[in-house]
């Protein structure tokens, strides 16, 4: 990894591009564009906070992933979270309370974190936490949801709190989606997308990209079907294999190159939607941006982890502040030891190097 790479500048430019793309995509929605204009000012102020901290030797990433529950109602084929036993049918008693998450959101606001991605399990099972997130308008909260728990109460909350944006998981058309997520899920998703569109509410879609569906989820017909329903963002997440028999589904160099080319084209030709790839082109970012470089993950029990795909922790936010969690010895070792370099076979460098990450914890 190039040690002269300016991660602060890179992440700031990335935030500005995403915010700019969202403003372009929502300019025909007066209430949403008004909120985004205010958020653009807030994100610039947050960038200045992070820059000031950087000058003082404290790197603050602009993104946080918060898995607010480990409970989920679906059993999606190949789900990394279930395969790693991080997701269950029932909520464990030891997960963080509503009050603890409220404190975390307030600390993130103070630090200048601009985006908190709410994940799970199924985050919409914890309605009070999502209500609490709505009280922090200077942070944009994409809610990564399977879309099956949207109801009238949520529609009213999303209308009131424009910083809450549901990002619904879809795998392509009906056959591909239901094959992975279960019978009837596609129709329920489409019904909820139409309901959101009817109410003028902004939403996005999250697509797990595999070697089987990469052409389907990047073709014009599929993307137009999302855009016509009011979708304003498509987040392409590379499939990470957690079992040997699913390894052939992981995008390789050829697929990643194709996806990057398609996203570049779509950003130019179809600015009515925002297109984001995760992990995206790591070469341009000096390597993986997990472990606090660009983001980090807090699991439902409070463990601060490098990434959802690298579920290892040596510090818990129950016992310390968010700022202190970013000083985690594990994070520091990963950042300084070359572990985040981009030489890997799958969609996640830390998953590929999991034995080395485990060895760091056992030192």
Q: In the chain, how long is the greatest CA-to-CA distance?
A: 55
The bridge status of strand 231-238 relative to strand 164-169 is: unpaired
Phi-psi region of 222 (alpha: psi -120 to 50; beta: other; left: phi over 0): alpha
CA distance 355 to 337: 14
CA distance 91 to 104: 20
List the structure tokens of 3.
């040690």
* 123 within 8 A of 92, measured Cβ to Cβ: no
List the structure tokens of 42.
């807030």
Q: What is the pLDDT of residues 207-253, one digit of tens each?
A: 999 999 999 999 999 999 999 999 999 999 988 877 777 788 888 88
- Please report, for residues 144, 167, 168, the alpha-carbon distance to residue 122 in angstroms, rounded to integers and kept in the order given: 8, 12, 11
Specify whether domain 7-361 bears CATH 3.20.20.70. Answer: yes
The pTM of this model reads: 0.92
Taking only the tens of pLDDT, the chain with its 363 residues reads 444 557 778 677 878 888 888 888 888 888 888 999 999 999 999 999 999 999 999 999 999 999 999 999 988 887 878 877 788 888 878 899 999 999 999 999 999 999 999 999 999 999 999 999 999 999 999 999 999 999 999 999 999 999 999 999 999 999 999 999 999 999 999 999 999 999 999 999 999 999 999 999 999 999 999 999 999 999 999 888 777 777 888 888 899 889 989 998 998 998 889 998 877 655 555 678 888 988 999 999 999 999 988 889 999 999 999 999 999 999 999 988 878 775 555 557 777 788 888 888 887
SS3 call for 226: helix
SS3 call for 129: helix
The bridge status of strand 164-169 relative to strand 141-145 is: parallel
Q: How far is CA 133 from the centre of its chain?
A: 15
Q: The sheet that has 63-67: what strands, in order across it?
A: 274-278, 231-238, 203-209, 164-169, 141-145, 115-119, 63-67, 297-298, 304-305
99-135 burial code (b ≥16 CB/10 A, e <16): eebbbbbeebbebbbbbbbbbbbbbbbbeebbbbbbe
Number of alpha carbons in the 13 Å side-chain half-sphere of residue 281? 13
* 269 within 8 A of 280, measured Cβ to Cβ: no
CA distance 222 to 258: 17
């Amino acid at each position: 990894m190039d040690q002269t790479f300016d991660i602060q500048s890179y992440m700031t430019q990335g935030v500005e591009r995403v915010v700019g793309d969202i403003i372009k995509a929502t300019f025909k929605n007066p209430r949403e564009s008004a909120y985004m204009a205010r958020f653009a000012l807030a994100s610039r102020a947050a960038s200045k906070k992070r820059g000031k901290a950087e000058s003082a030797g404290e790197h603050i990433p602009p993104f946080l992933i918060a898995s607010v529950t480990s409970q989920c109602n679906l059993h999606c084929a190949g789900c990394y979270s279930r395969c790693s036993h991080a997701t269950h049918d029932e909520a464990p008693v030891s997960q963080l309370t509503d009050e603890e998450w409220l404190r975390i959101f307030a600390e993130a606001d103070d630090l200048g974190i601009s985006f908190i991605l709410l994940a799970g399990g199924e985050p919409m099972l914890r309605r009070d936490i999502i209500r609490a997130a709505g009280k922090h308008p200077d942070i944009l909260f994409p809610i990564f949801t399977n879309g099956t728990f949207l109801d009238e109460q949520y529609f009213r909350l999303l209308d009131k709190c424009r910083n809450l944006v549901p990002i619904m998981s879809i795998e392509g058309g009906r056959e591909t989606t239901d094959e992975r997520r279960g019978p009837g899920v596609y129709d329920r998703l489409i019904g909820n997308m139409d309901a959101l569109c009817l109410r003028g509410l902004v939403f996005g879609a999250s697509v797990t990209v595999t070697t089987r569906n990469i052409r389907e989820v990047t073709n014009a017909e599929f993307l137009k079907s999302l855009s016509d329903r009011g979708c304003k963002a498509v987040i392409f997440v590379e499939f990470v294999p957690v079992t040997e028999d699913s390894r052939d589904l992981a995008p390789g160099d050829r697929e990643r190159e194709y996806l990057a080319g398609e996203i570049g084209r779509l950003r130019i030709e179809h600015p009515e939607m925002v297109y984001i790839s995760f992990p995206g082109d790591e070469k341009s970012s000096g390597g993986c941006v997990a472990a606090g470089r660009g983001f980090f993950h807090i699991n439902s029990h409070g463990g601060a982890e490098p990434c959802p795909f690298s579920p290892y922790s040596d510090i818990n936010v129950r016992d310390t502040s968010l700022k202190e969690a970013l000083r985690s010895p594990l994070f520091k070792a990963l950042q300084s030891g070359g572990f985040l370099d981009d030489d890997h076979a799958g969609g996640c460098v830390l998953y590929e190097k999991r034995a080395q990450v485990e060895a760091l914890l056992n030192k």
